[in-house]
Amino acid sequence: MSLLSKDSFQQIKRIFMSVPQGRKSQVSDTRIIYYRDSERNNSYGIKRVLPLLSDPTFDFEKPTVFYIHGLVNWCHPNAYIETAFDSSVATVVNAYVAHGGFNMLVLDWGNLAFGDYISALLNIKPVGNAAGKAVFKLLKRGLDIKGLHIVGHSMGAHVAAVVARYLKTRRYIVPRITALDAAYPGFYPPLQTVPVNPKDADFVDIIHTDGGWFGASTSIGHVDFWPNGGTANQPGCLPFTLPLTVENFCNHWRSWQYWAESVNGGNFIARKCNTYEGFRQGKCFGTAFMGLAATPELRGNYYLRTASQEPFALGESGATLRRRGYT
């Protein structure tokens, strides 16, 4: 991997943009995008989502995934800004489309992810509550709560929690929330919004890839997966990078890359351990699948190894201890 690429400064360039072109920094301009396939999608205003259910391709018999993109950076108030059309969303969407077994929805709150970090923190509750109201309308018109799975990356994981909390006030319990490297700065301890936690859904699973830096460093779900220890440096990421460049977020972004691969059938087998050192020493018991195949009875911490490039999943060998000199 080279130190820099043509996209290295993509996030830094966004520092000088107030909002995406054609958008307003208002909750009312938040949108839900329904992906009919990887090429075709329909966007619905957060307050006008019901026509989504009238799309002839929407299948009420399928479970529905609601993906929420993220925003996080504690080095600069603006530098990590994500939209619903970035590679993280495209990668996850394409994985679900290829799978074919889900209705794919994305919360596009990029209009409120452009701004300083504190403003984004203050926007989490309004955005999450507005999205919760939208999902509530869909549930009242026939969307099956039993098939709803909310997946959030970075700050989007905490937005997902607010969505679930709103639905709980309307007597709908979300079956599953998956947090992909849930944002750390401003949440541990919480400055404004209680971070995602096991009370938010029947099953809350977490994938940690940049713990203690951009991502949470402690166990925060029913089950927490810690690939390669859950911290930098993830295999294939540079040990030293220029701050705020795309390469600087490599570890943080591994979470959604692992997730997308799991949706595509990647076999991420993890072993239950008290610590990563215990995993390295073979002091572990039991295995489980990390990713889409994780099951709701799982509890505790699981560790695994991954490859340095796609495909990242190592199958059963990923759940073995790392001996000296073995990578």
Q: What pLDDT is attached to residue 246?
A: 62
DSSP one-letter string for 186-197: TBTTBSSSPPP-
CA-CA distance, 264 to 87, in Å (whole number)?
16
- The mean per-residue pLDDT over the stretch 233-237 comes to 94
DSSP of 17-48: -SS-TT--SSGGG-EEEEESSSS-EEEEETT-
Q: What is the DSSP string of 141-164?
A: TT--GGGEEEEEETHHHHHHHHHH
Mean pLDDT of 210-233: 95
Contacts of 325 (CB under 8 A, 6+ apart): none
161 vs 114: which has the higher pLDDT: 161
For residue 73, pLDDT beyond 50: no
**Rounded Cα gap, residues 260 and 91, in angstroms:** 7
Q: Do β-strands 148-153 and 64-68 pair in parallel, antiparallel, or remain unpaired? A: parallel
Residue 225 has pLDDT above 50, yes or no: yes
With H, G, I as helix, E, B as strand and everything else as coil, classify residue 207.
strand
Task: Name, in order, each residue with C-beta under 8 angstroms of 44's C-beta and a sequence gap of 6 or more.
Answer: 31, 32, 33, 34, 51, 52
d(CA 109, CA 68) in angstroms, rounded, equals: 8
Distance in angstroms (rounded) separating the CA atoms of residues 317 and 157: 29
Q: Stretch 314-327: mean pLDDT, rounded?
A: 70
Evaluate if residue 290 carries a pLDDT over 90. Answer: yes
- Catalytic residue positions, numbered: 154, 181, 252
Q: β-strands 103-108, 148-153: how paired?
A: unpaired
Percentage of the chain exceeding pLDDT 70: 83
112-126 residues labelled b (16+ CB within 10 A) or e (exposed): bbbbebeebbbbbbe
Tokens of 91: 């990668």
Average pLDDT over every residue of 52-63: 97
CA-nearest of 311, 306, 323, 312 to 226 is 306
Domain ranges of the chain: 10-319
| Euclidean distance between CA atoms 56 and 40, whole angstroms | 13
Whole-number pLDDT of residue 39: 81
Residues 6+ apart with CB under 8 A from 222: 198, 203, 204, 205, 296, 298, 299
Chain-wide mean pLDDT for the chain? 87
User: pLDDT at position 40, please?
Assistant: 87
User: Is domain 10-319 given the CATH code 3.40.50.1820 in the classification?
Assistant: yes
Instruction: Dig out the tokens for 173 from the structure.
Output: 């319990």
127 pLDDT higher than 50: yes
Identify which of 176, 245, 254, 242 has the alpha carbon closest to the alpha carbon of residue 215.
254
Q: Which of 323, 221, 306, 325 lies closest to 255 in space, CA to CA?
A: 306
Would you state the structure tokens that stand for residue 311, as one six-digit string? 């495909």
| Cα 100 from Cα 241, distance rounded (Å) | 37
Say if residues 206 and 223 touch (Cβ distance below 8 Å). Answer: yes
